[in-house]
Amino acid sequence: MSDIKPRDPAILDARERGADYLVRRHYFRWTEALPWLIAIACFFLFPNRMTFGNQVLIMVMFALSLDLILGYAGVVTLGHAAFFGVGAYTVALASLRLGWSEPISGLIAGGLLAGIVGAAVGWFIVRYRGLTLLMLTIAFAAMLQESGNLRSDLTGGYDGLPGLMFDPLLGYFQYDLYGHTNYWYVLVVLAVVFYFVRRIVYSPFGQVLTGIRENVRRMHAIGSPVHRRLVTVYAISAAIAGVAGALFTQTNAYVTLTVFDFDNSAKVMVMLILGGTGRLYGPFLGAAVYMILEDYFSKLSPTFWQLGIGLLLVLAVLFARRGLLGLAEDARGWFAAKERDKERRSSAPRRLVWKREHWTALGSSALDGAIIGFIAGFAINMKQIELMTAFVTGMPARALTFTLIGAGIGAGINAIYLLITSRTSVEEQAS
């Protein structure tokens, strides 16, 4: 850093602003209270949905653990369910085989064991990246599951360990059908864990993680013990996943080998990306939105709800690139930009100038429309939807008709799109 004070007030201002930002980054903003207030409010607004609320909170914790390793440290793993499962089974086996059914100590034991396993595994695999790391994490979780099935006398296999008994919380609070006690239990544990994660993220250690994510070679170059840091955060992340798993067993009083499923790892990653990686509240938003929408869609259509979820994911990627939280930030920025542009935009009339590439675009859309039309014709033929096919009979004629209709619609939509978006004003054409 230079000692010469720059005389440009704009630069001075920016430096001060930067320093100020770094110092105040970790202060609590009032907006941070929102998710917790919402969670508390849900208890009073939806007292009958607390079992579901439990699952959402547990998923939030699971996604939070993944955020540490994936969002902040940039290590992409698809096997986090392994640690969730370790925590889950620790509590279950402790209760069943060792008769240890005190919940809070069970929780800590589950987290601890998952953390140790995480450190051990992490030590080996954290040096890899990309597809290699992905497959290694998948393989580890799958091997744990298969080994569990091998010793199904211990683990109960895919039918699991039922009838687990847990002591009342703190010796006093009993579990009930509506899951009320469980909800507060999980919420409090989540708050504690979150505080812990928040401290890590805003500490120098958290900065190291961000550095590793952004430019790992630079970190090596400045002498940061990258491997050790990564193993540490991997272990912490695994421990938190283990705590989530332990809570899962305790609130369900039941656990099966399916906790290790690849589906679970994939789902939590999807939730995290949806909410926004590398942000503290991304897991909250992503997990809540995903689970609520999944629940809503599966009530709407028990058979086809995956369409809704799939569509949500596709739209999220296309229009909300950095997750839903990123979308919020983008929205703010977009409004600000519109304000700025208002002055600069000319008031000259705008019209569409037809160019060669517009023809190609139209043709492309027509082709897409034709394909969709063909498939629609095929599908309508399959489902024998009478109303729509009365005017044309026989598969080939049907397919042709719908193909042509599709091509027309495709071209038409694109033409309208062009008319709306590609109009240029006289000045822009001249330039």
Residues 237-296 interacting with another protein (rule: CB under 8 A): 248, 252-254, 256, 258-259, 261-263, 266, 269-270, 273-274, 277
- Does 130 sit near another protein (CB under 8 A)? yes
Which region, left, alpha or beta, applies to residue 232 given φ > 0 means left and ψ of -120 to 50 means alpha? Answer: alpha
Q: Closest approach of Cβ 258 to another protein, in Å?
A: 4
Return the number of the residue (376 or 405) whose C-beta is nearest another protein.
376
Q: According to CB under 8 A, which residues from 48 to 67 bind another protein?
A: 48-49, 51-52, 55
Q: According to CB under 8 A, which residues from 301 to 360 bind another protein?
A: 302-307, 309-314, 316-318, 321
- CA–CA gap between residue 197 and residue 245 (Å, rounded): 17
Q: What residues contact 147, with CB distance under 8 A and at least 6 apart?
A: none
Return the number of the residue (168 or 310) whose C-beta is nearest another protein.
310
- CA–CA gap between residue 11 and residue 60 (Å, rounded): 41
Binding mask 377-416 for another protein (x = CB under 8 A): -xx--xx-----------x---------------------
Return the number of the residue (34 or 300) whose C-beta is nearest another protein.
300
Q: Closest approach of Cβ 63 to another protein, in Å?
A: 13
Q: Closest approach of Cβ 384 to another protein, in Å?
A: 11
- Does 298 sit near another protein (CB under 8 A)? yes
Return the number of the residue (177 or 387) whose C-beta is nearest another protein.
177
Both tokens of 119, joined, read 């450190």
Return the number of the residue (23 or 131) whose C-beta is nearest another protein.
131
- Does 371 sit near another protein (CB under 8 A)? yes
Q: Closest approach of Cβ 16 to another protein, in Å?
A: 33
**Type of residue numbered 382:** M
Q: Which of 35, 36, 43, 76 binds another protein (CB under 8 A)?
A: 76
Are the C-beta atoms of 54 and 186 separated by less than 8 Å? yes
Burial profile 48-76: b = 16 or more Cβ within 10 angstroms, e = fewer: ebbebbbbbbbbbbbbbbbbbbbbbbbbb
Beta bridge partners of 138: none
Q: Closest approach of Cβ 374 to another protein, in Å?
A: 9
| Residue 83 burial by Cβ neighbours in a 10 Å radius (0-12, 13-18, 19+) | buried
Per residue, the 3-state secondary structure of 12-45, as one string, reads HHHHHHHHHHHHHCCCCCHHHHHHHHHHHHHHHH
Q: According to CB under 8 A, which residues from 136 to 195 bind another protein?
A: 136, 138-140, 142-143, 146-147, 149-150, 152, 156-160, 162-163, 176-179
φ and ψ of 162, to 5 deg: -90, 175
Query: What Rg do the C-alpha atoms of the chain give, in angstroms?
Result: 27
Q: Closest approach of Cβ 51 to another protein, in Å?
A: 4
Both tokens of 359, joined, read 């023809």
